[in-house]
Each structure stands twice: as C-alpha cells, then as structure tokens.
Homo-oligomer: A and B are copies of this chain.
Amino acid sequence: MTKTATGPIVVINPNSNTHVTDGLVDALHGFEHAGGPKIECLTLAEGPFGVQSQVDSDSVVMPLVELVNERPDAGAFVIACYSDPGLDACRSVSAVPVFGIQDSGVLTAMARADCFGVIAIAEASILRHRRTMARMGVLDRLAGEIALNMTVDESARGPETFSKLVETGNALLERGAGAIILGCAGMARHRTKLESEIGIPVIDPTQAAVAMAFGTLVTATG
C-alpha cells in the first residue's frame, strides 16, 4: 500500500478573468506537497469576464463539459464559481469526482456550525444561490445571506473591501451564523484575517472544495 501520484486536481475558473485564476493559485498552493496531487488552475477561455447573471452562469455549462471531457487525466475537478454552473452535467460525464464550490463551501460550513451565513458580492446573485441551497435541502441551516454590493473586481482589490466584509460578517453573526462563507471564488486572501476579526470560522469555498477533492485522491491511493 503505497502513496501513488494520481492525476491533478483541475480547478476551473469559468470566467475569462485571469486575475481570478491567479487568485485561485495563491489560495490553493498550500494544498500542494511533494508526492501529493498537483493543483492545476485553468481559465475557461470561452467564459464571460465575470459570471454575474443566470445567463452568464448557464453560458459556461457546455464549455465546462467539453473541458472535462478533454481531461481524462484529471484526478478530480473543482468548478470555481459560486453559482456551481454545470455541476450536474460535468458529474454526468466525468469518471472522477467533480466538486462545486458553493456545494462544498456550504457543506463544509455545516461541518463547523449549526447555522451558516453567506457573504455575496452582488444582491442579484442571492436568489440564484438560494435556489441551489433549496435544492440541497439546507435552507433550515442558513442564517442569512447578505451582499457586499461591490463588483467582483472591487471585492478583490478595493481598499474598503475588508471593512465591508467585517461589517457584513458581523451582521450575519447577529442573525445567528456560527460560520461564514465567502460567497465568491475570489476572496480567499481575506479569509484568515476576517476569521480573526469576527471570531467565527470563515470558509473560502474553493479551499473547501479542494480539501474534499484532495481527500478523495489521498484515500483512492491508500
């Protein structure tokens, strides 16, 4: 029983903004180590610059399926967009596990607290996220979801992002959240600092998905 190298964890940024992909690399490099699975972060060239609407989200499904089909060498896939586009379709064509970051983020938050809160980027995406949580059957554990009402770009760089995160996190804490999910693929670098500031677990959903993907690979080679 030896630890064998297996295929990489392929993390797909379904939008074409390579800054987001760079952020994923930063957020995930801690998972890599000698002898372990590689983490490969890809940008979906066909994707919109940002996934902001339902149509944006649906527009990447078929390209994601294609990409999954083109990578039979992968050990696992992570779809790094909080709307979980194409999760069912990619699972249906893939021989290896496929994780969505909303799905993994929510389930990981549920492993940390009775009720969780979500910080969304934009108001408009809250309803889209709620549909996913309804389908997951986890609405009873949702303390609330509140939007920063910033663009993805602002949220990643803007100087006021952190104070807005603290304010929003505390508002969710007051609504009963025992853990907070950063409801976007691009806010990982705020995670530890925000966790210290508000005093409850803060989950970066891409890290949560990669941790689960890592688990399937480690145990597959056990």
Please encode chain A, from 126 to 159, with 1 for each CB lying within 8 Å of some chain B CB and 0 for all others.
0110110011111111000000000000000000
Please encode chain A, from 1 to 39, with 1 for each CB lying within 8 Å of some chain B CB and 0 for all others.
101000000000000000000000011011101111000
Judged by a CB distance under 8 angstroms, whether A82 is at the interface is: no
Q: Which of A26, A138, A192, A211 has the most CB of B within 10 A?
A: A211
Q: Is the CB of B93 within 8 A of A55?
A: yes
Judged by a CB distance under 8 angstroms, whether A163 is at the interface is: no
Q: Which residues of B contact A57 (CB under 8 A)?
A: 89
- Secondary structure at the A interface, as helix, strand, loop or mixed, is helix
Judged by a CB distance under 8 angstroms, whether A218 is at the interface is: yes
Chain B, Cβ-Cβ closest to A107: B107
Q: Is the CB of A127 within 8 A of B178?
A: yes
Please encode chain A, from 202 to 222, with 1 for each CB lying within 8 Å of some chain B CB and 0 for all others.
001001101110111011111
Please encode chain A, from 94 to 134, with 1 for each CB lying within 8 Å of some chain B CB and 0 for all others.
00010100011001101110110000000000011011001
Judged by a CB distance under 8 angstroms, whether A67 is at the interface is: no
- 26 A-B Cβ contacts within 8 A? A1-B26, A27-B219, A34-B34, A54-B91, A55-B93, A58-B58, A62-B62, A88-B128, A97-B112, A103-B110, A104-B111, A107-B108, A107-B110, A108-B212, A111-B212, A114-B130, A134-B137, A134-B140, A135-B135, A136-B141, A137-B137, A188-B219, A191-B219, A207-B215, A210-B215, A211-B219
Bound complex: CA A86 to CA B89 (Å): 13
Q: Which residues of B contact A103 (CB under 8 A)?
A: 110-111
Chain B, Cβ-Cβ closest to A97: B112
Bound complex: CA A214 to CA B29 (Å): 14
Q: Which residues of B contact A137 (CB under 8 A)?
A: 134, 137-138, 140-141
Judged by a CB distance under 8 angstroms, whether A59 is at the interface is: yes
